[in-house]
Chains A and B, each alone.
Chain A
């Protein structure tokens, strides 16, 4: 056991092209920000893209690190779900993103990475995104009989869900404007 060679983290730009060719129609857009590559993927192609990213020897993303769903009030999609993948053998990371509307479901990645089980359950619980093909899509953090999804933007941080056009408390817009406190 020595100090070991250090592998510089290197954004795997070439992989996006590989994915584009291997799964036609999957890659909608690709961005690079602060050394991270984020690929916007068509929802229907997510499972295919995931399988390719895990099994392709150049990609070899053995690990699903995080699943993060964000809720939006004012866009033509309601949820954006980001996945962070890591490759142990190649030592690189890539992020995938899918965007879905109000009643759309996202294919679950549990059959590809078993660790997706709890990660997807948590996002379903907190944000209300639904995953199809998930073996056990129950709430995980909030109580079973809890009616709401607290990380949605129409859920006020100090109380419960608020109606967007009602008279009551303003819905949490993502941050509280301090001038109106």
Chain B
């Protein structure tokens, strides 16, 4: 790059060494920049530009930083840098009781906290050998599916906004408001739900809650049809998404990509079908898959998943069993509040459970659920005692982000925005 370029300020002086332009010369100490320097013939051919995207950029959906090497507008290399939202959750888990960690799981994939609550607590329950009563299982299924719809709506709204379709965003956020009211009525919190407890949930369904969900599932399919009309046949949308960011099934499997990103590539892997938990084998729903693995396929898959989640919600509401949501084990589950206020034994029990927790058997378990982003698994290693010795969070977004290089290299820099949106990463669960 020479000083005579029209973009250079008059009298700007010598260009930075090696033709390195963009943000790199402003932050020469940022790691990764020096490694991208063009060498040899490449430097003669085209001024390869190293562009720093993020960590604070709206289209990166959180604090994702990408160092992109460009030749003109063509992407030559992408290197993702993560860790900007690291909070040390796995370490924190080693210092608290099993129930105390539930609020931390809200902050993993903060677009679907209910899913994270369920995923974590089911790993603990697997470790302890607990099976939930039927009502508790159905309540958790409904919580998971509401979380899935809400997460996919956010993905749809922001993804379309990134590509210039602003209208979609307002429609999806209107629906998300309804869902957040439903979640607030169920858990008391809109974002930080902390709904599950070992052996059950924090509270049973409130009065009138099922009607709220019924109203939603009745009206929501029409909204989906509207959104479908706005986007699916839209020429601009199709041109921006079709044949962009192709991820082959072979690459996706080798990288361990799961969830809608894998299904978009044509692999029908859904944990709800392959290893059914919470009685998912009793629900009738389809697993949509794509054919090509481009951005458009991933869009279609997520869109259809929302319809399938509505189907599951309706079946759950139709077959909602009575009875308790929690297991009957006073050594694990908190006593009823009325009893705590009136009976000595229950008061002591609550005190002991809250201050001391309960021990889990020694052993190692891995349990995964199908979260909105893919396979969310918790690996818990217990040495006995009331805390995990080691807790590992297998987050789908962390694994999926590795695929960004396969999808983006050779494409245009504007496609990168579409690709990030279609991967749907949430940095809260990438960095943990």
A→B interface (CB under 8 Å): 1-4, 6-7, 9, 33-34, 36, 38, 62-66, 68, 70, 82, 84, 88, 91, 93, 95, 113-115, 117-119, 122, 126, 139-144, 150-151, 155, 157, 172, 174-176, 178
Contacts and interface: CB of A to CB of B under 8 A. Distances in A.
B399 A150 contact: no
Nearest to A126: B90
B256 A3 contact: no
Interface string B269-287: 1000111100001001111
Contacts of B392: 66, 68
Interface residues of B, number: 59
B86 A63 contact: no
A66 B374 CA distance: 14
Interface string B357-376: 00000011110100000010
Contact of A36 (B83, B256, B281, B366): B366
A65 B256 contact: yes
26 contacts: A1-B287, A3-B286, A4-B268, A7-B274, A9-B274, A33-B365, A36-B364, A62-B254, A66-B366, A66-B392, A68-B381, A82-B381, A84-B379, A91-B274, A113-B254, A114-B251, A114-B254, A115-B402, A139-B83, A143-B83, A144-B31, A157-B91, A174-B389, A175-B386, A175-B387, A176-B95
Interface string B75-118: 00000001100101011101110000000000000000000000
A40 to B, nearest CB: 12
A178 B356 contact: yes
Contacts of A33: 363-365
A174 B287 contact: no
A1 B301 CA distance: 13
Nearest to A88: B269
Contact of B365 (A34, A122, A178): A34
B267 interface: yes
A176 B357 CA distance: 12
Contacts of B5: none
Nearest to B356: A178
B364 A141 contact: no
A113 B365 CA distance: 22
Of all A-B residue pairs in the complex, the 10 with the closest CB atoms, nearest first, are A115-B256, A175-B387, A141-B83, A68-B392, A115-B255, A70-B390, A66-B394, A33-B363, A9-B275, A114-B254
B402 A117 contact: yes
Contacts of B287: 1, 4
B129 to A, nearest CB: 7
A89 to B, nearest CB: 10
B403 to A, nearest CB: 9
A114 B267 CA distance: 18
Contacts, number: 129
Nearest to A142: B83
B387 A174 contact: yes
Nearest to B30: A144
Contacts of A150: 88, 91
Contacts of A139: 83
Contacts of B355: 178
Contacts of A157: 88, 91-92, 94-95
Contact of B253 (A36, A88, A141, A144): A88
Contacts of A84: 366, 377, 379, 394
Given A4-B287, A140-B82, A157-B91, A91 B365 contact: no
B394 A141 contact: no
A65 B375 contact: yes
A65 B276 contact: no
Contacts of B390: 68, 70, 151
Given A3-B284, A172-B95, A176-B95, 4 more contacts: A34-B126, A36-B364, A91-B275, A139-B83
B120 interface: no
Nearest to B90: A151
A70 B90 contact: no
Contacts of A66: 366, 377, 379, 392, 394
A30 to B, nearest CB: 13
B273 A38 contact: no
B36 interface: no
Contact of A118 (B273, B288, B399, B431): B399
B94 A141 contact: no
Contacts of B195: none
B24 to A, nearest CB: 16
